[in-house]
């Protein structure tokens, strides 16, 4: 392949030849590509020497393609058209708007991913870069235009808007609910309770949820703990126990029937998922469009007013903390 490439003439010669053939003269070709008539004539002469054939019949005031020149022109035109199309594609891609969106793994996996086809359909002119991370410090970097994090709404150097409220309720596979007879709250103590490990002190685990539901004795319940919420949800789908379901994050599984709400009990906290943006960066048109789209998606399932779970008063998660939700 490299040997074949060495046989190719310089691109400048081909451009000069194509222009002269298309415009019918060396002078006109030179005017179009900003070269003198003499420079065009010299490049074509060098091209003919490189190929070993005459491409033009030269008259006193005109030039005409030889049969070899006409045949060669077809290949040169196709090749230059292909290169030009490739260059235009690169320019178009460079001009396309791009929005970098960071989100916790739970939001990215369970809420954003099922909606991405709709986002692409609604905004085909915007390229999306989605970063899924449970490290706040990784999400809160200057490279991201929009960020979705769980908390109470305050992050230094970022403005925030509540995107999703937080309603929490038990979920499990339909057959597990039937097997365990989950028709009353106390039956949870006979189940395996699926937890998520988190060092965010405001994170709602089973002990806090049961206490808020006036069922404080949990020592009799078996437990299964994962380090990400998506794994906990999958464990519930696989009938390994009962997980705490965050509204919006499990709505898709509830609609599909892979998970059910065996009990009506539900709590709501002061926390939620917030959409953040750097305070020192104005929103581009594309970022504004994605922001508005996210809120439209969130507004499709309004959250009812429920009793509020009492919260401790820890510091708001910051850039140096990590999250496992």
Is-contact 239 176, C-beta < 8 A? yes
d(CA 19, CA 32): 8
Q: What is the pLDDT of residue 162?
A: 93
The residue ranking higher by pLDDT, 282 or 306, is: 282
Between the CA of residue 254 and those of 245, 258, 270, what are the distances in Å?
A: 10, 6, 24
The ranges of the chain annotated as CATH 1.10.10.10 are 2-95
Q: State the average pLDDT over residues 220-226.
A: 85
> Please, which pLDDT band fits residue 165 given cuts at 50, 70 and 90?
very high
Percent of the chain with pLDDT over 90: 57
> pLDDT for 224-246, tens place per residue?
999 889 999 999 999 999 999 99
Q: Supply the DSSP symbol for 108.
A: I
pLDDT at 297 over 90: yes
Q: What is the pLDDT of residue 5?
A: 65
Q: Name the helix (H) or strand (E) containing 17.
A: helix 11-23
The residue ranking higher by pLDDT, 96 or 159, is: 159
Q: What is the pLDDT of residue 93?
A: 64
d(CA 167, CA 290): 25
Class of residue 130 by CB neighbours under 10 A (exposed 0-12, middle 13-18, buried 19+):
middle
- Write out the E strands in the chain: 56-58, 63-65, 97-103, 126-132, 146-151, 158-171, 192-196, 222-226, 242-246, 267-278
Q: What is the pLDDT of residue 63?
A: 86
| Bridge partner residues of 162 (DSSP) | 274
**Other beta carbons less than 10 A from residue 191's beta carbon:** 21
> Please, which pLDDT band fits residue 136 given cuts at 50, 70 and 90?
confident
Expressed in angstroms, the distance from the first to the final Cα of the chain is 52
The ranges of the chain annotated as CATH 3.40.190.290 are 99-298
Tracing tokens 């049969």 back to the chain, one arrives at 67
Domain at 99-298: CATH code: 3.40.190.290
Cα–Cα nearest to 271, from 114, 194, 158, 164:
164
pLDDT at 146 over 90: yes
CATH topology for 2-95 is Arc Repressor Mutant, subunit A (1.10.10)
């Amino acid at each position: 392949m490299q040997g074949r490439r060495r046989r190719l003439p310089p691109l400048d010669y081909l451009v000069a030849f194509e222009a002269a053939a298309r415009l019918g003269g060396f002078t006109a070709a030179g005017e179009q590509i900003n070269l003198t008539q003499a420079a065009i004539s010299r490049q074509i002469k060098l091209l003919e020497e490189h190929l070993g054939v005459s491409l033009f019949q030269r008259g006193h005031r005109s030039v005409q393609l030889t049969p070899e020149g006409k045949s060669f022109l077809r290949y040169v035109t196709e090749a230059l058209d292909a290169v030009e199309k490739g260059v235009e594609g690169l320019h178009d891609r460079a001009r396309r708007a791009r929005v970098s969106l960071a989100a916790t793994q739970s939001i990215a996996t369970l809420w954003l991913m099922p909606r991405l086809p709709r986002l692409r359909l609604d905004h085909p002119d915007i390229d999306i870069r989605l970063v899924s991370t449970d490290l706040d410090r990784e999400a809160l970097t200057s490279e991201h235009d929009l960020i979705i994090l769980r908390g109470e709404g305050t992050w230094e150097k970022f403005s925030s808007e509540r995107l999703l409220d937080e309603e929490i309720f038990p979920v499990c596979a339909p057959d597990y609910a039937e097997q365990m007879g989950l028709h009353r709250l106390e039956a949870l103590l006979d189940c395996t309770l699926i937890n998520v490990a988190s060092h965010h002190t405001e994170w709602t685990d089973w002990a806090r949820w049961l206490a808020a539901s006036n069922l404080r004795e949990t020592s009799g319940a078996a437990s299964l703990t994962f380090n990400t919420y998506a794994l906990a949800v999958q464990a519930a789908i696989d009938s390994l126990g009962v997980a705490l379901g965050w509204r919006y994050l499990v709505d898709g599984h509830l609609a599909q029937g892979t998970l059910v709400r065996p009990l009506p009990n539900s709590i709501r906290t002061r926390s939620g998922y917030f959409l953040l943006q750097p305070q020192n960066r104005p929103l581009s048109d594309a970022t504004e469009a994605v922001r508005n789209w996210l809120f439209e998606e969130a507004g499709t399932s309004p959250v009812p007013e429920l009793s509020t779970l009492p919260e401790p008063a820890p510091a708001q998660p910051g850039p140096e903390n990590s999250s496992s939700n």
